[in-house]
Copies of this chain bind each other. A is one copy, B any other.
Amino acid sequence: MTKFDEATQAIRIDETTYDVCLDPGYSIGGPLNGGYLMAVVLRAVVDDSPFEHPVSTTSQFLKSPVPGPAQVRVERLKAGRTAAFTRATLVQDGVSQIESLVTTATLTGAEPLYSDKPAHVMPPPEECVKLPNPKPESNMTLNAQMELRFDPPTIAWLSGGPTGRPESRAYFRMTEPQDADPFVLALAVDALPPVVFSAGLRGWAPTVDLTWHLRALPAPGLLTLIGGGRLISDGWFDEEVEVWDSAGRLVAQSRQLARVGRG
C-alpha cells in the first residue's frame, strides 16, 4: 500500500457511510487539492458499486474541508446491467463539503474503435522542466507527492513570460512509485497549476465544479497531462485536461469551471 493509497482509504462503517481521514500532505497553500478529495470520495463509491471503474465523476466544491477525519455518504441511485449511478457527499463535522455524482461501469481494455490524437506534441521528458521546490511556509505539500515535468513555454509565466493563452502541459507520475489507477487519475486531472496563469492571471483560482471521465485504464509509466481553456469571462474560466498514458491512449478527460483569482 502506497502513501497515496493510505491517504485515500475509505473504511465502511455502515450501509451508507465510510470513514476517511483527510491527509495534510495534499495541501495547496492551505486548502486540500480537489483531485485528492475526489480520489477519497471515489474510493467509497467504487467500494459500494457492483462495477469496478468510476467512468464519470462530477464534484461540486461547496467548502474546503480540513485535514483530519471526515465521512463519505453514498447513496446508490440506480444499478443497471452495465452501469450504476451514485450520489456521494463528503461530510466533515456534520457539514457537506463536496457533493458528487458518479457513474460506475467496468472497462475491459478493448482496442478503441476510434481515437483522436493529443492536441499538442510534448517535447521528450528530458527537455521538460520541474518547478523549484515550494518554500515550506507556502504549505504546498501536494508538490512533494507527485513529479511534474512541464512543457517549457507553459511554465514560462513563472519567469514573467506568460504565453497569453490558458495552457499547461506536463508529464506526471507519483513520487512514490505507483502505477496509475483511476484514483491517481482523479488526482492527475486537477494536478496542474491553473491554466489561466499562462494567460497572465495570478492568484487563488478556486475550482467550483469539476467533471472528469475515465476512458481507459492507464498503462504503467509516465502520464501526459494536456491542459487548456477556451474562455476567460465574467470572473469564470474553464480548464480542460486530457490525460494520455505511456502507451499513447487517452485515459481521462476533465473540465472544470473555476473562478478567476483576484491576487
Interface residues in chain A, defined as those with a beta carbon under 8 Å from any beta carbon in chain B: 55-56, 58, 60, 62-63, 77-78, 82-83, 85, 87, 96, 99, 101, 103, 105, 107-116, 164-166, 199, 201, 208-209, 211, 213, 215-216, 229-236, 238, 242, 250, 253, 255, 257, 259-260
Contacts and interface: CB of A to CB of B under 8 A. Distances in A.
Can you tell how many copies of this chain the complex includes? 2
A93 to B, nearest CB: 15
Contacts of A55: 208, 236, 257
A64 to B, nearest CB: 12
Nearest to A75: B99
Given A85-B99, A208-B103, A255-B253, A233 B112 contact: yes
B242 A215 contact: no
A171 B231 CA distance: 21
Secondary structure at chain A's binding surface: helix, strand, loop or mixed? strand
Given A60-B103, A78-B96, A116 B231 contact: yes
B250 A115 contact: no
Contact of A208 (B56, B165, B236): B56
Nearest to A78: B62
B209 A109 contact: no
A23 to B, nearest CB: 24
Q: Which of A77, A101, A250 has the most CB of B within 10 A?
A: A101
